[in-house]
Amino acid sequence: MKNAFADSLHETFERLGRIDIRRMFSGFGIYHEGRMFALVIRDTLYLKSDAESAAHFDRLNLAPFTYERQGQQMPMSYREAPPELFEDREEAALWGRRAYEAALRSGTVPKAVRKAAAAKKAAAKKAPATKKVAAKKTVAKKAAPARKTAPAKKARKATPR
């Protein structure tokens, strides 16, 4: 499913570098170098935040993305993006870097890395169990000295006496 707003983010974050947009639930995940640093829900961009970057969002009164779970509002670590980000590519790159750095600090492993680790683990389980056999130490046998054979006795010629 295509979304014009989400697709326009390639241009918005062009100075940050290549981004990937992936469909998820009722929105889109925005990725840079394998890490999700932003989220699009109902044509609103939310950027990843953490304790280090929260002050930048708080200064502009940018609200966190929240969803309802069992009747309670659950805030996430994504905050609304500032409107000036869409008009200034340098500002977009700055906010994109902040969000990407927050994603790096979060410690979550990129999905591709998790999949590779899971595949490796599954392959290890499927591999037939091989018993480790203790290697026998072989002692080099000393070569026995060659036997000296007695020289063949020369046949005596009968000599007349």
What pLDDT score does 156 carry? 57
Picking from 11, 30, 8, 10, the residue whose alpha carbon sits closest to that of residue 21 is 30
Q: Which of 83-87, 146-150, 152-156 has the highest mean pLDDT?
A: 83-87
Picking from 48, 61, 56, 52, the residue whose alpha carbon sits closest to that of residue 96 is 48
What pLDDT score does 76 carry? 92
Structure tokens at 88: 């200034």
Name 102's Cβ contacts closer than 8 Å, sequence gap at least 6.
Answer: 37, 47, 48, 49, 50, 52, 53, 77
CA 111 – CA 36 distance, rounded (Å) = 9
What pLDDT score does 122 carry? 73
Strands 64-69 and 72-80, sheet pairing = antiparallel
CA 114 – CA 69 distance, rounded (Å) = 27
pLDDT of residue 65 exceeding 70, the answer is: yes
